[in-house]
Amino acid sequence: MSDVTLINIKEEILAENKGLADKLRRRLKERGAFLVNLMSSPGSGKTSLIVRSLQELGSRYRMAVIEGDVDSAVDAERVAREGIRAVQIKTGGSCHLSAAMVEKGLGALSLDSLDLLFLENIGNLICPAGSDTGASLDVALVSIPEGDDKPLKYPLIFRTAHVFVVNKTDVREHFDFDVEAFRARVRRLNPEAPVFEVSCKTGEGIDLWCNWLRERVEEGR
């Protein structure tokens, strides 16, 4: 068997991605910029959470947004309407953002004049969890209508994200979402990660989320 060369494509790609992600993290830290990676299912409210956070933190930080999408630029246009610089990455079919795509997005921004960057990953609870983007903080967003069983079905993202945000609390009474059961399921996979409950529609809970985020930015950059 000594003349068999085993090429494990997936492991090689992941190792290469991790190397580039670590490089991006170092570069961002040197420039004093903090990158937040937002992951969720389609339609959980990633863009809405970014817009709310931009509004809440706008007086404090110089910010920009990198939007990932398979196609279209509707999210970047929505962010740009807030007067914030937005870069749209169209993956053209790819199911997650790689560090190489993020590097291209960062290349369109001038990092020295930025404190805080939001990265909106592709709407997908599976693939983005397995691919390091170079962010300093990985946020997983779940919304009330999706149900409280998501940690059971998509364990990787619930094990690896640093913080969880439950969105759409304004419609809580119309859905059977047991917040305590959800919190217990998250704790079992990720005991240290905080869970915030917000409504991006009404603004409920956005202050607590942004205060916590502000502390992470101050520590991390």
List interacting residues with a copy of itself (CB under 8 A).
9, 41-43, 69-72, 74, 93, 95, 122-127, 130, 143, 145-147, 149-150, 152-156, 168, 170-171, 174-175
Closest to a copy of itself by CB, 116 or 123? 123
Buried/exposed code over 39-49 (b: 16+ C-beta within 10 A; e: otherwise): bbbeebbbbbb
| Cross-strand bridge partners of residue 19 | none
Closest to a copy of itself by CB, 50 or 122? 122
Closest to a copy of itself by CB, 52 or 168? 168
Locate the DSSP E strands across the chain: 34-40, 63-69, 85-90, 116-120, 137-143, 163-167, 195-197
CB of 168 to a copy of itself, least distance (A): 7
| Cross-strand bridge partners of residue 137 | 36
CB of 37 to a copy of itself, least distance (A): 18
Closest to a copy of itself by CB, 82 or 115? 82
CB of 126 to a copy of itself, least distance (A): 4
- Count Cβ atoms below 10 Å from residue 9 Cβ, excluding itself: 7
CB of 19 to a copy of itself, least distance (A): 21
Are the C-beta atoms of residues 151 and 182 closer than 8 Å to each other? Answer: yes
